[in-house]
Amino acid sequence: MYNEALEVGIYPAEFWDMSMQEIRDTVTRRIRQKQNEIYTLSAMIRVAVASAISAENKFPASAAEAFGREEKREGSWKNSYNYIKALQKLKQGGAK
């Protein structure tokens, strides 16, 4: 429990002054807060990406579609990088 408390930002002096129930409650609350922050940030990113794609440029379903060729879906960072690059080209009007 000590390591979990440190991971969520409870200082050692605070940890030793708290009861076990206070520690559990604080750890649970801080984890929930972090999850809410991540959810909010992901929603903001979705809105930003959706607003960046104009009505005439349809959002491609995959990097392969954006590049106009078939590629294996490996789920690697390289595919994500290629996908973002293809979106940038579409936004600039030069993906062919």
pLDDT, tens only, 5-33 = 888 999 999 999 999 999 999 999 999 99
Q: Please answer whether residues 31 and 61 qualify as being in contact, where contact means their C-beta atoms are separated by less than 8 angstroms.
A: no
Please, which pLDDT band fits residue 58 given cuts at 50, 70 and 90? low
- What is the arithmetic mean of pLDDT over 54-67? 56
Residue-wise over 25-50: b if at least 16 C-beta within 10 A, else e? Answer: ebbeebeeeeeeeeeeeeeeeeeeee
pLDDT of res. 18? 93
pTM score of the predicted model: 0.49
Mean pLDDT over each residue of the chain, to the nearest integer: 75
Structure tokens at 54: 């104009």
54: closest CA among 93, 85, 95, 96? 93
Q: How far is CA 62 from the centre of its chain?
A: 18
E strand or H helix at 32: helix 20-52
Q: Higher model confidence: residue 73 or residue 23? A: 23
